[in-house]
């Protein structure tokens, strides 16, 4: 088990050690992220979606924002929607020069896996592949997500095999193209009814080709000046202790009550959690109607007059820090710099075993054990009964053949319009995967 989990990533990192770029590549090794020079990598990230389509196409704006993020102490951004056909070289270079890495979502509104009618088809696979094709060329691409908050209740947990199938096929595609092993994972809603089943499900099983490379949670539990125990972070740590792949917080930053103090960062990067968790991404960079922003680009305007505004909030220009939020986060990060463990020491001592696959429970988690994953073109038969859910073919169920130029239309702005955390409630018949 140790060799299958550790040695491939270690060999890749050692092979690139003599040819380090300005931003050394990030790899997932066991339960941690490491840079190509052997240092453990902790994410100090910001959610970055200035516009609904693609914020990584305006080089000048990226340079201005990257410089401000350097001042903040950030080393990563998360981008939810991109256009894989656009030119991202300027922005990716701007962030690389600032020492900032990218975690990017592969899906978009037309291609995301739906919880109520889960499916994983060739169109989705081709669209995901197009995003990976574009961003694999940049050394500061640190990881990609196959989904964001697909599951928001235990009642729709039968969508989990489709998420895991997306992981499987994107890993296979990545390897078939001889791309470096960019970590491929998932961003989950923090739903008590799914803890820790979904987390364990995406990392369980004997086949590494089907397991996620990392897992992350959108967590808004720690509000105001809460505490490690009072916020529920202690339970998150308990659930993650001994986890076999990197785990981090992919959204955080509770805003009620004010002010935002970001004191949860001291737990994440401190002795309580830093041995298990690989950092956090704070929501979000730009100030807009949802009031989560760390910076703004000027006073609000009439959106009918200004074309550079969505809901009245300008989307470009010189970033102006939001007080006191920006300063509070900067102060927290300035004092938190865990060193972690060196790759050489970690790889020699790590003993990692995948968690047991969760079993189904009446009225709760639906997927029973290490269920057979759907192949491309299969959908769930919602009419199935407790005798077993039946994936039914709605297209090719043969070997995945991603198109390097495939892609969905980039539209909408879920994160731009506002935070989507656990708002979806879907009722389905009780079914069990076998």
Give the active site residues: 149, 251
Using alpha carbons, select from 251, 230, 238 the residue that is nearest to residue 195: 238
The DSSP-derived string for 43-107 is: EEEEE--SSSS-SSS-HHHHHHHHHHHHHHT--EEEES---TTS--HHHHHHHHHTT-EEEEE--
How far apart, in Å, are the Cα atoms of 344 and each of 25, 139, 180, 242, 350?
Answer: 16, 22, 20, 19, 10
> Looking up tokens 């080393």, which residue turns up?
75
Give CA–CA dist 46/287, Å, rounded.
13
Using alpha carbons only, give the angle 170, 176, 180 rounded to the nearest 5 degrees.
Answer: 80
Respond yes or no on whether the N-terminal peptide bond of residue 284 is cis (omega within 30° of 0): yes
Nearest Cα residue to 139 out of 21, 316, 257, 264: 21
3-state secondary structure of 16: helix
Closest by Cα among 285, 311, 307, 309 to 298: 309
**What secondary structure does DSSP assign to 258-270, as a single string?**
SSP--THHHHHSS
Structure tokens at 52: 């609904």
Copy the structure tokens of residue 283.
């929501």
R_g of the chain computed on alpha carbons: 21
Distance CA 43, CA 73 (A): 11
**Tokens 């070997």 identify what position?**
399
Alpha helices in 178-263 (DSSP H): 197-201, 233-240
């Amino acid at each position: 088990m140790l060799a299958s989990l550790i040695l491939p990533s270690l060999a890749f990192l050692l092979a690139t050690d003599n040819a380090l770029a300005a931003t050394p590549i990030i790899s997932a090794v066991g339960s941690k992220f490491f840079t190509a020079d052997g240092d453990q990598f902790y994410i100090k990230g910001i959610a970055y979606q200035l516009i609904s389509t693609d914020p990584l196409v305006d080089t000048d704006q990226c340079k201005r924002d990257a410089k401000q993020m350097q001042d903040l102490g950030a080393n990563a951004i998360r981008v939810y929607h991109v256009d894989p056909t656009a030119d991202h070289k300027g922005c990716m270079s701007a962030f690389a020069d600032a020492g900032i890495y990218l975690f990017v979502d592969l899906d978009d509104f037309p291609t995301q896996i739906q919880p109520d009618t889960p499916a994983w088809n060739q169109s989705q696979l081709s669209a995901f592949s197009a995003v990976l094709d574009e961003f694999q060329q940049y050394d500061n691409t640190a990881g990609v997500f196959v989904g964001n908050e697909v599951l928001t209740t235990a009642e729709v947990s039968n969508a989990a095999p489709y998420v895991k199938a997306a992981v499987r096929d994107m890993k296979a595609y990545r390897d078939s193209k001889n791309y470096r092993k960019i970590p491929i994972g998932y961003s989950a809603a923090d739903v008590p009814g799914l803890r820790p089943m979904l987390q364990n499900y995406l990392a369980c099983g004997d086949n590494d080709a089907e397991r996620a490379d990392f897992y992350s949670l959108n967590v808004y539990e720690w509000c105001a000046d809460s505490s490690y125990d009072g916020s529920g972070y202690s339970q998150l740590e308990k659930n993650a202790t001994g986890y076999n792949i990197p785990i981090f917080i992919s959204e955080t930053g509770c805003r009620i009550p004010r002010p935002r103090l970001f004191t949860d960062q001291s737990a994440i990067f401190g002795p309580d959690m830093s041995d298990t968790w690989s950092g956090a991404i704070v929501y979000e960079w730009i100030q807009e109607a949802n009031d989560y922003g760390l910076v703004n680009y000027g006073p609000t305007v009439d959106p009918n007059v200004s074309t550079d505004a969505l809901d009245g909030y300008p989307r470009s220009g010189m970033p102006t820090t939001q007080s006191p939020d920006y300063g509070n986060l900067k102060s927290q990060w300035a004092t938190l710099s865990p060193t972690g463990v060196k790759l050489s020491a970690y790889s020699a001592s790590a003993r990692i075993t995948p968690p047991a696959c969760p079993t189904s429970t009446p009225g709760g988690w639906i997927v029973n054990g290490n269920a057979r994953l759907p192949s491309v073109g299969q959908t769930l038969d919602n009419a199935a009964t407790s005798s077993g859910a039946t994936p039914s073919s709605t297209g090719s169920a043969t070997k995945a053949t991603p198109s390097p130029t495939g892609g969905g239309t980039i539209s909408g702005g879920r994160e731009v319009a506002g935070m989507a955390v656990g708002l979806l409630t879907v009722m389905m018949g009780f079914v069990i995967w076998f």
